[in-house]
């Protein structure tokens, strides 16, 4: 017997089960989702006790059955919100503490007793010979943490059903609002670890505390009417495309023509051109007095939303029933807090606790997670005398970990790949390497742009500091006959004849946070044409751009094609790569360059290529310019490849001449503050400013040529003109880099010749081209020219002055002058159109503290700040005196920014060496840990 066809759900059971279903107190959405699962379980013949704080009607309106029992108890609180979009983080933590932490002992006692009472009254007559199936009771939690622990105490199996978990959500709240509540995170993670597995719904966030995962489709309420009936009732033709506008009963979003979704303040007006032609928007919660455009239609207040939305079939209840019978979906249990900590260390990069002098990669309070729960603390990864604990599985044949905790953690993660994994990335990585072959490991840091920034492509001097956060790449080359292929890669080879061919397979950790695929693979023959020659960079760019979720692979795989083109390298062996980056993406600290440099370094090491760090950086720039398609300069790659810890890499970008490493004086310190606004050098603003700069260069050269021609046309005897002036005009007429133009020459001869802006078509008519190989002029677009031209001329001068000041006598005037140069650079970025509200706010907060009465009384602390890198968001560089008070002021800036914006800036501090200084590791596994046919694993 089966449930009626409309449910296609759970088989009616021959065994009667009792389910305790705990529902989080965060919103009605969870309760309505639970209702549909509960309905299916009851139809299958089971009893369901719903433990909830939601009103009864949420359940009884859809379920009328004596098998439904509702128990009104609230065991968590979710998030405290002022409205649909505003979360009070501190209030949320404090309320959770009051709701679930302080009364925890009594909650566990009461819940355990209640769960046992269900057994005595309802299922105590059922017995099974198999001890694994002796318990027919089942506890389900819609993400209520303490319910998992209570079930374990009562000897009942438990499952969580959700697309987010409170340990991950509250971790951000702790950093933003109240680190004294941080033990909440670890306790929640431990509670979750008691459940059998996670049933994960679409739209999920990282949930590392759970030990096993089953992905299911969307869970929604059942339909009462067909789509055809709904359209007929609303008077909508079948060929009209529908979109629904709804958020918690409040209309707060709409679709623009660019298909982006943007929050609007109260009082906004919907406009007809917000929707593409042929679309109709059904608006939920619109006020009766609101007049809508003709392509927007109000829904009635009591409209049943599931009838309007396309609903997925509910298969969830079947999994719950089978688990209650004893089916084992889960693997061996580990500490939930430990898994959460490991996930943070290996790529999730939750923000650091302020006020701590923490090591390179592991924030102190994450390391002590298990101590917070009264458990044994994990030993330090680096032992006495530099010996490394936790990576004994590997023999290091070349290189040295140099005591870097992040490198130790990465190697330890490699050693654990032999274990059975169910998470998507780890499952794919577990079958990546042949443990009988050598593995090469490279490390490359991100960078903080102290001075120079976008003037790099104009030939400026730049000063860059490599940061602590770095990318690690593990790489193995192996003969195609020994390569452990993923299933679909093997199928692809079989379709081509079955003979082993060289394949590239890449796993990249952190994909869940970056909205990209965790794996990439290709036949290396795709990089060659029919004659065996490397394909063009343009063709490679199109190859990687086919699938947006796979475009990230261009940063790593592109190194192979560049080596083929530039050095004539032939790749005949298969290549496996594992990428793990702690450099946050989109924050303007060169996450892309660190991936490129680490990948290129690992490839070079594995193939015996001796490439000098400078040359390696130039090759990596080609990857980003030509294969990725981002028009960046070379300073990012140079800093990542050639930098040294606690020094500024000084480089003249013509194209990449290192002029030295500048020691950072002991009394000076640099910080980076992330604005929370995502930055990209592939964005339109960066590219258009670069085009405007090259337009200005072309105009200056043209003007200089005109001046020389006029001298000749006027019949002026060159002997009557200062020869130096003639030479200067000749140099300026053939200027290769705009930064070689002196500021006073610009002001004297060229300032009036540079227009504020120009249309692309007009420029091309007058000047033919702008001579920049990595950007293309849009003829219809208007480009700013004056400020993008002025910026590199003066920035080069500012950077030279900054470098000279660093070696001058220590004084308050020195710090003030250094800070002033940063401020000038910042406002010049803004004039170019590369500023942002967030970075401007951070710079202003630094100024407030610098000029406050308290700061003046204490002496110079913070003294300057500027936007960095490509601009338009990203990170702000701050300079100040290296003292405790300066650190306190940095945290004060962080606190004030959070209060104003709701976002807590990530603080970058400290430094580490570039890839050239680190070198590479060559490692070999001492003993292979057998896994269950992991060679047949497929990447997700």
Helix 554-567 vs helix 613-622: crossing angle, to nearest 10: 110
Residues 344-354, buried b or exposed e (16+ Cβ, 10 A)?
bbbbbbbbbeb
Q: Three-class SS string for 589-614?
A: CCHHHHHHHHHHHHHHHHCCCCCCHH
- Cβ atoms of 325 and 133 closer than 8 Å: yes
Classify strands 137-142 and 158-162 as parallel, antiparallel or unpaired.
parallel
Q: Counting beta carbons within 10 angstroms of the beta carbon of residue 587, is it exposed (0 to 12), middle (13 to 18) or buried (19 or more)?
A: buried
Nearest alpha carbon to residue 757 among 792, 788, 793: 788
Nearest alpha carbon to residue 111 among 137, 138, 150, 155: 150
Please name the residue that has the structure tokens 């503490």.
97
User: Which member of 393, 636, 674, 772 is catalytic?
Assistant: 636
Torsion of CA 117, 118, 119, 122, to 10 degrees: 120
Q: How many CA atoms lie within 13 A of 875 on its CB side?
A: 29
Torsion of CA 912, 917, 919, 925, to 10 degrees: -40
What is the side-by-side strand order in the sheet with 296-298? 241-245, 279-283, 296-298
Nearest alpha carbon to residue 173 among 358, 350, 369: 350
Nearest alpha carbon to residue 660 among 869, 462, 796, 818: 462
Residue positions counted in the chain: 940
Dist CA 845 CA 905 (whole Å): 13
List 339's β-bridge partners, or say none.
none
Residues 881-899, buried b or exposed e (16+ Cβ, 10 A)?
beeebbbebbebbbbbbbe
- Cβ atoms of 602 and 443 closer than 8 Å: no
> What sign for the dihedral angle of Cα 230, 235, 239, 245?
negative
Is 724 a catalytic site residue?
no
Residues 921-939, buried b or exposed e (16+ Cβ, 10 A)?
bbbebeeeeeeeebeebeb
- Cβ atoms of 630 and 584 closer than 8 Å: no
Residues 791-800, buried b or exposed e (16+ Cβ, 10 A)?
bbbbbbbbbb
Dist CA 131 CA 122 (whole Å): 19
Q: Three-class SS string for 419-473?
A: CCCCCHHHHHHHCCCCCCCCEEEEEEEEEEEEECHHHHHHCCEEEEEEEEEEEEE
Ramachandran sector of residue 589 (left: φ over 0; alpha: ψ -120 to 50; beta: rest)? alpha
- Cβ atoms of 25 and 74 closer than 8 Å: yes
- DSSP string of 136-183, one letter each residue: -EEEEEES-HHHHHHHHHTT--EEEEES--HHHHHHHHHHHH-GGGTH
Please report, for residues 244, 258, 281, 289, the alpha-carbon distance to residue 271 in angstroms, rounded to integers and kept in the order given.
15, 14, 11, 16
Dist CA 844 CA 857 (whole Å): 20
- Cβ atoms of 792 and 739 closer than 8 Å: yes
Dist CA 611 CA 609 (whole Å): 6
What would the two tokens of residue 737 be?
């880099």
Q: Active-site residues: which are they?
A: 636
């Amino acid at each position: 017997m089966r449930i009626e066809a409309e449910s296609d759900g759970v088989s009616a059971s021959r065994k009667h089960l009792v389910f305790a279903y705990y529902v989080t107190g965060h919103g009605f959405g969870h309760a309505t989702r639970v209702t549909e699962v509960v309905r299916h379980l009851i139809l299958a013949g089971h009893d369901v006790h719903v433990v909830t704080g939601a009103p009864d009607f949420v359940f009884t309106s859809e379920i009328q059955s004596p098998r439904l029992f509702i128990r009104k108890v609230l065991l968590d609180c979710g998030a405290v919100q002022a409205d649909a979009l505003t979360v009070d983080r501190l209030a949320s933590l404090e309320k959770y503490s009051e709701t679930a932490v302080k009364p925890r002992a009594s909650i566990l006692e009461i819940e355990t007793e209640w769960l046992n009472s269900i057994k005595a009254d309802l299922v105590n007559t059922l017995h099974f010979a198999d001890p694994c199936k002796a318990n027919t009771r089942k506890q389900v939690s819609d993400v209520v943490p303490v319910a998992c622990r209570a079930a374990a105490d009562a000897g009942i199996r438990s499952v969580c059903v959700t697309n987010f978990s409170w340990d991950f959500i509250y971790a951000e709240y702790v950093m933003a609002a109240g680190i004294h509540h941080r033990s909440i995170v670890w306790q929640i993670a431990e509670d979750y670890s008691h459940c059998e597995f996670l049933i994960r719904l679409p739209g999920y966030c990282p949930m590392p505390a759970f030990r096993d995962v089953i992905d299911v489709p969307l869970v929604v309420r059942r339909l009462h009417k067909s789509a055809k009936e709904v359209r007929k009732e609303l008077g909508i033709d079948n060929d009209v495309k529908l979109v629904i506008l709804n958020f918690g009963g409040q209309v707060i979003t709409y679709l623009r023509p660019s298909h982006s979704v943007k929050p609007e303040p109260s009082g906004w007006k919907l406009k007809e051109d917000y929707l593409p032609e042929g679309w109709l928007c059904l608006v939920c919660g619109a006020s009766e007095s609101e007049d809508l455009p003709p392509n927007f239609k109000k829904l009635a207040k009591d409209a049943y939303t599931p009838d309007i939305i396309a609903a997925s079939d509910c298969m969830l209840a079947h999994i719950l029933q089978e688990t209650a019978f004893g089916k084992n979906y889960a693997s061996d249990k580990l500490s939930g807090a430990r898994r959460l900590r490991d996930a943070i260390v290996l790529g999730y990069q939750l923000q650091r606790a302020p006020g701590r002098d923490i090591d390179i990669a592991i924030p102190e309070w994450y390391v002590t997670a298990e101590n917070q729960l009264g458990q044994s603390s994990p030993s330090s990864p680096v032992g006495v005398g530099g010996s490394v604990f936790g990576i004994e599985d590997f023999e290091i044949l070349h290189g040295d970990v140099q005591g870097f905790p992040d490198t130790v953690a990465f190697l330890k993660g490699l050693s654990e790949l032999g274990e059975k994994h169910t998470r998507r990335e780890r499952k794919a990585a577990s079958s990546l390497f042949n443990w009988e072959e050598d593995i090469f490991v490279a490390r490359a840091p991100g960078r903080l742009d102290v001075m120079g920034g976008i003037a790099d492509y104009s030939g400026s001097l730049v000063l860059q500091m490599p940061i602590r956060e770095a990318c690690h790449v593990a790489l193995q080359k192996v003969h195609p006959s020994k390569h452990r292929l993923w299933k679909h890669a093997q199928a692809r080879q079989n379709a081509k004849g079955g003979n082993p061919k060289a394949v590239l397979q890449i796993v990249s950790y952190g994909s869940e946070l970056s909205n990209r695929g965790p794996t990439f693979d290709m036949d290396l023959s795709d990089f060659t044409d029919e004659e065996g020659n490397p394909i063009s960079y343009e063709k490679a760019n199109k190859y990687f751009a086919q699938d947006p979720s796979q475009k990230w692979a261009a940063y790593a795989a592109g190194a192979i094609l560049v080596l083929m083109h530039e050095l004539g390298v032939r790749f005949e062996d298969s290549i496996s790569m594992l990428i793990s980056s702690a450099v946050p993406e989109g924050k303007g600290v060169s996450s892309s360059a660190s991936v490129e440099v680490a990948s290129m370094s690992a490839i070079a090491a594995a193939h015996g290529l001796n490439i000098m760090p400078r040359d390696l950086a130039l090759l990596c720039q080609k990857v980003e310019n030509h294969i990725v398609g981002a028009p960046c300069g070379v300073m990012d790659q140079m800093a990542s490849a050639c930098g040294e810890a606690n020094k500024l890499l000084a480089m003249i970008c013509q194209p990449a001449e290192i002029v030295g490493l500048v020691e950072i004086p002991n009394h000076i310190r640099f910080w980076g503050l992330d604005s929370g606004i995502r930055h990209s050098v592939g964005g339109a603003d960066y590219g258009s400013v670069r085009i405007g700069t090259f337009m200005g260069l072309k105009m200056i050269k043209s003007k200089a040529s005109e001046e020389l021609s006029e001298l000749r046309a006027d019949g002026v005897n060159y002997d009557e003109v200062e020869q130096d002036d003639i030479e200067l005009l000749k140099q300026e007429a053939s200027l290769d880099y705009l930064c070689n133009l002196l500021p006073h020459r610009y002001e004297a001869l060229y300032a009036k010749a540079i227009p504020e802006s120009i249309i692309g078509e007009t420029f091309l008519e007058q000047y033919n081209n702008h001579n920049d190989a990595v950007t293309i002029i849009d003829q219809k677009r208007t480009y700013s020219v004056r400020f993008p031209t002025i910026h590199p001329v003066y920035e080069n001068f500012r950077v030279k002055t900054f470098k000279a000041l660093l070696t001058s006598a220590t004084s308050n005037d020195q710090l003030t002058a250094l800070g002033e140069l940063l401020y000038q650079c910042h406002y010049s970025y803004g004039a170019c159109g590369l500023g942002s509200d967030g970075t401007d706010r951070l710079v202003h907060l630094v100024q407030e503290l610098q000029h406050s009465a308290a700061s003046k009384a204490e002496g110079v602390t913070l003294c300057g700040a500027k936007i960095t890198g490509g601009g338009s968001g990203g990170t702000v560089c701050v300079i100040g005196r290296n003292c405790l008070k300066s650190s306190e002021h940095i945290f004060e800036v962080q606190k004030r920014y959070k209060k104003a914006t709701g976002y807590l800036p990530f603080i970058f501090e400290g430094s580490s060496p570039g890839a050239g200084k680190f070198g590479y590791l060559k490692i070999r596994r001492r003993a292979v840990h057998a896994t269950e046919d992991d060679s047949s694993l497929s990447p997700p």
